[in-house]
Amino acid sequence: MDNSSELRQRILALVQAFYEAEHAAAPFVPGESEVPISGRVFDAAELLNLVDASLDFWLTTGRYAEQFEREFAQIMGVRHAMLCNSGSSANLLALSALTSPKLEERQLQPGDEVITVAAGFPTTVNPIVQNNLVPVFLDIELGTYNVAIENLEAAISPQSKAIMIAHTLGNPFNLDAVMEVANRHNLWLIEDNCDAVGSLYHGRATGSFGHLSTVSFYPAHHITMGEGGCVLTSRPQLKKIVESFRDWGRDCWCAPGIANTCGKRFDWQLGDLPCGYDHKYIYSHVGYNLKLTDMQAAVGVAQLQKLPHFTELRQRNWQYLYNGLKPYEEFFVLPQATTHSQPSWFGFLLTVREDAPFSRQELVRYLDERRIATRL
């Protein structure tokens, strides 16, 4: 073992010791310890990977990102996973990709309509507006809190070109119905899967049904990198377009720090440019720079190993809350899983009935006084 390898092992051994000294789980004291809405769950593996990647000092996307993309795509049942810096950026990339001229007659044009829901996170809708498209809002149904399917067909117009809907709090929307409408009207489908990693529909992972899907790795979500997001697809053309928009809009598909993967970097004839113009510096889209660092991806690689256990715990915790609140159903509309689904729940959504003897504000205050966090 050379000196640098030995030093790396000594550093990582100290990181393990530091984790045990600094981050050991504190005992839970009912009534005193806070019950958070969400948050990071980690052990020494995440710290070890983070420091290991830091020692490489490869500050942009690198070996850990490549490993994560490969393993995550396999877990999700798709061909391609493209990391980016947030779930919101993933939504922006997914929708922007559909505006690419490379899609020819299926390219989204300014003024085209994108069907979405009226109650959801803003960055599901923001990319529609940012791309000069028109959001068409649909209501949701109580219980599943997903799109009210009976309104979907009526929302279709000659300008409809895409559907972009989230799986609310990990509960899959009715993919059978949405996909039937999308296929019949030749619409693009983007699944906002940011709240639903680990959820299944007909035994298949959500995020694998649409033309594109998106994921968030913010600390509140199912697995985390601190910040981070991902776009998923099984279509090679969409993969290349998403990567182009993510990486400044460039046409070259080489990984960061790598050149001439195609073996003919200086041999292309590209439009009216001089023959042999450097393909690595050709830009075919008005893109962004939304890449992830390898340090973040290193944390994600460790988190991936925990995903099955996290999913099991989320389902168990949801059932515990449901069983405890079931006797009080006269006061609450309790959440319910979509037919044919196995949600990896992101939260437990309660609706206070209009005739309940207390208000939503009173319930929130009651829980807050007992250090049980809530959010609207």
Cβ atoms of residues 280 and 250 within 8 Å: yes
Candidates 80, 167, 211, 221; catalytic one = 221
Cβ atoms of residues 297 and 64 within 8 Å: yes
Count Cα atoms within 13 angstroms, Cβ side, for 128: 24
Alpha helices, DSSP H only, in the chain? 3-22, 44-56, 63-76, 87-97, 122-130, 175-184, 236-246, 294-304, 307-325, 360-369
228: left (phi over 0), alpha (psi -120 to 50) or beta: left
Going by DSSP bridges, is the β-strand pair 200-201/188-192 parallel, antiparallel, or unpaired? unpaired
**Of all helices (H) and strands (E), which one includes residue 54?**
helix 44-56
Radius of gyration from C-alpha coordinates of the chain: 23
> How far is 252 from 120, CA to CA, in rounded Å?
36
Helix crossing, 87-97 with 236-246: angle to 10°?
120
* Active site (annotated) includes residue 285: no
Nearest CA to 61 out of 52, 51, 49, 53 is that of 53
Nearest CA to 147 out of 156, 157, 137 is that of 137
Burial class, 68, CB count within 10 angstroms (exposed 0-12 / middle 13-18 / buried 19+): buried
Catalytic residue set: 221
